[in-house]
Chains A and B, each alone.
Chain A
């Protein structure tokens, strides 16, 4: 019983904290990014990775807009979990994206998390 209570408590806590942790964007244009303060600690590493690697060919703005609008800004396609994975695979395969599978997996996980947050 106590175990259950604990679980429920934990669950509500997680929900509450996540619900609270709105993902905000900061900056303008080329400097736009998700607000690092709104990224939970367990995603910090992935977030840093994304901020470093995903700006090689374009700014973070694209990614922020894709998450916020649920629509990929360039191609206009829905930006949902499936699309995020496909986009990750595309990036993995792009010559010169300079990202390996592990890194892509991390960014995909982060983007999925952000999508989930934003859908709340």
Chain B
């Protein structure tokens, strides 16, 4: 009896401590998913926003925490043989020591006592898994029926940058400040959403003297805004609609260590066309995880004043490592270490086909159009502390200068070849270095870039990134109309980014 009392008390203490730990986590301020799922940044990120395997799985799973969904937990419990499931089951019996129900109640109580708002304990207790597992408080029925997330799923990311460019008159410039809002989550695992809103980015165009002018705001913009119908009709297919980066390359554009340098294969343009692979588009996409290790996506892009739709497709496959549902690979712990225990290779291929130019919806006016496609392959190799990314794109534009045969300027056909290779090394969990080489033959000339990056995360939600870009251009026309010439750019950037 006494033992039980001691145990109950120790559970209370543990609960309280666990809670205060969570509180500390919260005080250090971390974004929407962290708040919603009570996980640390490093669950899904290396140094954010670069994703690790689990972050990638979370993304592919439409922002439903793998294993945390009602279904997943049910499946897991069903899959576990009775004997294996025993400890978990035992945890809910009368012994008390492992009573998850009681613990979460105690946690909830402690939270209330520590002055948290009344809704917080419920949020903690009603994360899907707890609900499914029968532990925790019931979420208020109203909120449950409304399918509204308990915590406002919004977070902010801010960056402050300084740049050093020897060739500029103002060599060292506190070059830019950016403030972004991110929102994301799911509604009862049936639908998900994600949005990125650029609230502020630097606009210096109106500064003509230095008397006392702070840079104005560029127009604010929605970079991403989409909803996903998860597992439509109980199939593995998710439908995503809205403004999004079409699923083409293996990595979302933000999924990298560098803060200022996009990967050239995804960000280069041809002629006067503004199309890039990572450009947000207004699209409808269907995607699905198949057989745990394949991911397929295909979509249709809508362009204003154009009645012809554009289309794209993606397929990728992962060998080794955790699968796309975040299940760990089968590793025999009794056997000697082998490189296959640590080797993860992901390969992807994609294609995009479109037409752009002047509107083709104006009656009586022949549009001037550029028909183009991009096809690319990517590879991501992870081995212990090493990571290697390879990306290559082949592009074709049949009228990159957007002239029709009726004008006297001939259309300029361009075949573009752009590739990047980046090696990354994890020195410490919060200190990662990378070096990238890029080759860009985009029809305007040739550019080679060497980009070393060093990122350090003193806290999980604060990072400092030092990067350098050495860009060598050979008979390159910087703009579609300028004269081709050789030049070299050397730009160093120091960035501080924090999220909350």
B445 adjacent to chain A (CB < 8 Å): no
A101: chain B residues within 8 A (beta carbon):
333, 335-337, 341
Q: Is the CB of A68 within 8 A of B14?
A: yes
- Return B452 CB to nearest CB of chain A, in Å: 19
Which of chain A's residues have a CB closer than 8 A to the CB of B337? 100-101
Separation in Å of the A107 CB from the closest CB of chain B?
A: 10
Does A36 touch B at the CB level, under 8 Å?
Answer: no
Q: Which residues of B contact A118 (CB under 8 A)?
A: 87, 90-91, 97-98
Chain A residue, CB-CB nearest to B90: A119
Complex alpha-carbon distance, A53 and B468, angstroms: 36
In the assembly, what is the distance between CA of A105 and CA of B90, in Å? 24
User: CB within 8 Å of A: which of B298-340?
Assistant: 321-322, 327-329, 331, 333-337
B37, B40, B321, B334: the one within 8 Å of A93 (CB): B321
Interface flag for A65 (CB, 8 Å)? yes
A96 & B68 in contact (Cβ 8 Å cutoff): no
Q: Does chain B have a CB within 8 A of A64?
A: yes
Say whether, besides A90-B322, A93-B341, A93-B342, A75 and B333 are in contact (CB < 8 Å): no
A25 to B88, CA, bound (A): 19
Q: Which of A64, A79, A82 has the most CB of B within 10 A?
A: A82
How far apart are A37's CB and chain B's nearest CB, in angstroms?
Answer: 15
What residues of chain A lie closer than 8 Å to B198, measured between beta carbons?
none
**Given A57-B429, A92-B341, A96-B385: A74 in contact with B88 (beta carbons within 8 A):** no
Once the chains are docked, how many angstroms separate the CA of A93 from the CA of B321? 8
Contact status A32-B14, CB under 8 Å = yes
* Interface hit among B16-24, B140-148, B225-233, B369-377: B16-24
Structural contact, B98 and A119, CB atoms closer than 8 A: yes
Given that A71-B135, A96-B429, A104-B333 are contacting pairs, would A79 and B17 also be in contact in the complex, using a CB cutoff of 8 Å? no
The verdict on A105 contacting B333 (CB below 8 Å), with A118-B98, A119-B87 known, is yes
Q: Please give the distance in Å from A48's CB to the nearest CB on chain B.
A: 19
Query: Are A80 and B88 within 8 A (Cβ)?
Result: yes
Instruction: Report if B220 contacts A (CB, 8 A).
Output: no
Asked, given contacts A68-B98, A74-B40, A80-B86, whether A25 binds B384 with beta carbons under 8 Å apart, the answer is: no
Which A85-101 residues have C-beta < 8 A from chain B? 85-90, 92-93, 95-96, 100-101
Q: List 8 A-B contacts (CB under 8 A).
A: A25-B10, A25-B14, A69-B103, A70-B90, A70-B91, A77-B67, A78-B85, A80-B84
Given contacts A68-B14, A118-B97, 13 further A-B contacts (CB under 8 A): A29-B20, A32-B14, A68-B11, A70-B100, A71-B135, A73-B18, A76-B129, A80-B85, A86-B328, A93-B322, A100-B337, A119-B87, A119-B98
